[in-house]
Structure 1
Amino acid sequence: MAETSASSPLWAGRFEQPMDAAAWALNASLSVDRRLALVDVRVNQVWAEALEEAGVLSAAERAALVAGLETLRQEFQSGNFVFQPTDEDIHTAVERRLRELVGPLGGKIATGRSRNDLVATDLRLWLMEQLGALEGALLEVQKALLDQAEASGDLYLPGYTHLQRAQPVLLAHWWLAYFWPLERDRQRLGDLYPRIAVMPMGAAALAGSGFPIDREHLARRLGFLAVASNSLDAVADRDFAAEFLFVAAMLGIHLSQLAEMVILFCSQEFGFLEIPDAFATGSSLMPQKKNPDLFELTRAKAGTLLGHLTALLAVLKGLPLAYNKDLQEDKAQVFGAMDTLLSVLPVLAAAIRALRVRAERMQGAVSAELMATDLADYLVEQGLPFREAHAVVGQVVRLALARGQSLDALDQEALLAIHPLLDERALAILQPRHSLARRNLSGGSGPLAVRTQLHAARAALLQRVLPDSSENVREERTSRS
């Protein structure tokens, strides 16, 4: 006979036999959702006040419940709360301990609600609060990129397409090319917030509470921006979680792309950047090695974040209305993604700040061939159609390759033999500074354009995208286990 659990869950009245122990272990979620403890206590306190306003509780009953819940809050904060084997989830644990503190009155806290609307409310509140910490960590990476860009001065390097040297760009422009994708990610956090801040509480199990709860007042007290319009949708909706996981995955991809280029640029083959010892590792076998492990781990975490998104989307696919236990899997994905980002971002910000630029190696990689487009543009300015100019410069490149020479080393006679417009003025085009100076249009890689871009990036950092209530994650409202 299978071993059975000695638990007495909140729903045990319907059942004659206790739950199988292995089934109980699979069904329980306390190991994951216990970090919602302080949020759950807070929601319960406000719910007690709503029940009083609805005429369900007397003022004395409400005061006793709120006081008991305050004791719970202190126990969670101090680490003195003792979980029991009968605690199926954090909501069960809170209600069980409340009954221990205030007696049978504690059972009244569950009036007019369900764990279905409670868990959805808790998760939304937790995420609303944690987004502030995430934005702060993301801002530090952006600041590190911007600091590097501002310190780059007029240094330049090859820009790449297909991982082949293409045209010269300012190093500041290169750093900022990673700043703006992160700014889009930060803006997505702000766009997401109003869709998270919709309160499910009052939807009960699926049909709505049977008591006259003032949901709008309840939402304001908890810090929500709106209430869910449909009770069925309220308990089933996990769009906000999936959308957060998309933002997290997109952010992870951008961090991975940045990490990949740093890894390449720190290799001996490139040698453009150097990682200080504090952010590198060595080899247990090869004494000479200096490895970019932290950037490699950043690159790998993108896969972890994509996995969290894919996992939740797979759970949500095909679910019938309204609540299903499948939705218990949402928290592991949301918590995992948040933990991953909050562990990676601070280290990455410090590592980016510490990177050393090897200017001579970087600028030395910009050869005359990278100004081939500028030579074609010069011929266009002399009246040639661009396609003809392109073909002429292609012949020049082919000649240089055949001779094993750089473009600017070709003799004037050979150039004129290709086209009469390739006079001495054409050779003067083949200079990195000249190429950069031609690209001062808005968003371009020229010095003036980059200076404007630096100002725009600095201004962007001053604009926080989340409401004040989310910027400062209060310690007493956060529980990490």
Structure 2
Amino acid sequence: MSTKSWAGRFKEKTTKTVETFTSSVAFDSRLWEYDIEGSVAHAKMLGKQKIISAKEARSILRGLNRLKQKIQKGQFRFSDEMEDVHMNIESALTHAIGSAGGKLHTARSRNDQVALDLRLYLRDEIAEVRRLIKDFQSVLVKLAEKHIDIIIPGYTHLQRAQPVLLSHHLMAYFEMFARDADRFEDCLKRVNVLPLGSCALAGTTLPIDRKYVARLLKFPAISNNSIDAVSDRDFVVEFISAASLLMTHISRLSEELVLWNSEEFGFIELPDAYSTGSSIMPQKKNPDVLELTRGKTGRVVGHLLSVFVVLKGLPLAYNRDLQEDKEPLFDTVDTVRACLSVLTEMMPKISFNKAAMRTAAEGGFSTATDLAEYLVRKGVPFRKAHRITGG
């Protein structure tokens, strides 16, 4: 007999090839804690509404708690045969507590279940990414304060333009990351919506209490349309879009630091602990960390396009294509967290060459604009002052 939750109308078992091909547990197993959290709230609601008995609800809650502890201790093995994180947990629960476990999925579909898990997951990750951004901004502020007296050449078109303070330059990145933090906060508004209760697409005839579940899971809003709720991945696109802009800012900073670290600029020196060497050239000290934070930006932007392409051709409501949103999302989260963490650790250890920066700032007629403005203050029309200074 098949162990599949949907096997009732099928006469043949799926082949091993199909099981492996359709399984998502290799990557969606990271949602297990959120899956259990959602199931706990759902079970409490089913008991409160007398859709299941109080005894069954207590049995389910005890079983979920024991299962959570088992997974935390590394004593649980996720199986491809169970397809995904949801069925792995439900199957293990039913095996542990008996028939009551089979009632947990009452008034619920994997369609609204996975939508819930993703929202719970992203809610936590948005908080973590915003914390990491704030930590990195603190590093930028401390560097700006520490090097408040360093003058550097400001550039346009990668040519010396006007002298500026290094602190002013660093604080430009502070502003970029402030906008990034705001974007993630705004994204949270769309993430923080409860989809549970939508079931497969048309809700349920059972007397569920969605407001109660929303309170338990701390959702300030509840989805209005069940069809939209199970097929909506806009919030995933929004998160990866915000992450793409964040990574673009990381990439721009990384590129400048790579240039400044070169012998041609000589503005900074990276610490040995954050550099690597060459397998053939003994003299090399390569800025690999910065090159990777720059390079990984393309990876995140690629994930944004990947999810867009998955979504663009989907009719309503849920389609299995949506399984393909998770790997791009999870890798985006991992990449952003890794890049912010390593830069926050490395930046305070960079050595700034004050003399080289000042020498560069003094060259290339970088105060020409100031001279033109001096003439303006003496009554010379700006265009004439521009010609005089430029000539």
TM-score range, shorter chain: over 0.9
Specify the alignment match of 2:116 in structure 1. 121
Give the match's secondary structure for 2:160. strand
Correspondence 1:393-432 to 2 at 5 A: 393-395=389-391
Structure 1's unaligned 5+ residue stretches are 1-5, 396-481
* Distance apart, 1:64 and its partner CA: 0.5
Aligned residues: percent identity?
Answer: 45
Aligned match of 2:133 in 119, 135, 138?
A: 138
Alignment of 1:179 with 2:174, yes or no, is: yes
C-alpha separation between the residues in 2 aligned to 1:314 and 1:376?
52
Specify the alignment match of 2:219 in structure 1. 224
- 1:372-416 per-position Cα deviation (integer Å, ceiling 9, x unaligned): 111111111121211111111111xxxxxxxxxxxxxxxxxxxxx
Alignment of 1:282 with 2:277, yes or no, is: yes
C-alpha separation between the residues in 2 aligned to 1:84 and 1:236?
26
Moved over 2 A (4+): 82-86
Give aligned pairs, total: 390
Specify the alignment match of 2:336 in structure 1. 341
Give the match's secondary structure for 1:248. helix
Instruction: Give the residue type in structure 2 aligned to 1:45.
Output: V
- TM-score after normalising by structure 2: 0.98
Kept in 2, the 8 Å contact 1:134–1:342? The answer is yes
C-alpha separation between the residues in 2 aligned to 1:299 and 1:130?
22
Correspondence 1:150-165 to 2 at 5 A: 150-165=145-160
Give the match's secondary structure for 2:164. strand
Specify the alignment match of 1:378 in structure 2. 374
Specify the alignment match of 2:362 in structure 1. 367
Kept in 2, the 8 Å contact 1:54–1:211? The answer is no
Instruction: Give the residue type in structure 2 aligned to 1:216.
Output: K
* Distance apart, 1:323 and its partner CA: 0.4
Give the match's secondary structure for 1:82. coil
C-alpha separation between the residues in 1 aligned to 2:205 and 2:89?
23
C-alpha separation between the residues in 1 aligned to 2:134 and 2:277?
30
* Distance apart, 1:63 and its partner CA: 0.3
Kept in 2, the 8 Å contact 1:281–1:291? The answer is yes
Kept in 1, the 8 Å contact 2:151–2:357? The answer is yes
C-alpha separation between the residues in 2 aligned to 1:176 and 1:162?
20
Specify the alignment match of 1:408 in structure 2. none
C-alpha separation between the residues in 2 aligned to 1:203 and 1:92?
18
C-alpha separation between the residues in 2 aligned to 1:256 and 1:313?
22
* Distance apart, 1:85 and its partner CA: 4.3
- 1:113-153 per-position Cα deviation (integer Å, ceiling 9, x unaligned): 10000000001001101222212222222111111101012
Correspondence 1:38-53 to 2 at 5 A: 38-53=33-48
Alignment of 1:265 with 2:256, yes or no, is: no
C-alpha separation between the residues in 1 aligned to 2:69 and 2:56?
20
Kept in 2, the 8 Å contact 1:255–1:298? The answer is yes
Give the match's secondary structure for 2:367. helix
* Distance apart, 1:82 and its partner CA: 2.6
Aligned match of 1:208 in 184, 192, 203?
A: 203
Instruction: Give the residue type in structure 1 aligned to 2:60.
Output: L
C-alpha separation between the residues in 1 aligned to 2:22 and 2:273?
44
Correspondence 1:301-320 to 2 at 5 A: 301-320=296-315
Bigger drift between 284-293 and 161-170 goes to 284-293
Aligned match of 1:190 in 185, 192, 209?
A: 185
Specify the alignment match of 1:350 in structure 2. 345
C-alpha separation between the residues in 1 aligned to 2:338 and 2:148?
31
* Distance apart, 1:84 and its partner CA: 3.3
C-alpha separation between the residues in 1 aligned to 2:301 and 2:54?
49
Who wins on radius of gyration, i.e. which is larger?
Answer: 1
* Distance apart, 1:20 and its partner CA: 2.3
Instruction: Give the residue type in structure 2 aligned to 1:390.
Output: H
Specify the alignment match of 1:443 in structure 2. none
Structure 2's unaligned 5+ residue stretches are none
- TM-score after normalising by structure 1: 0.80
Kept in 1, the 8 Å contact 2:20–2:80? The answer is no
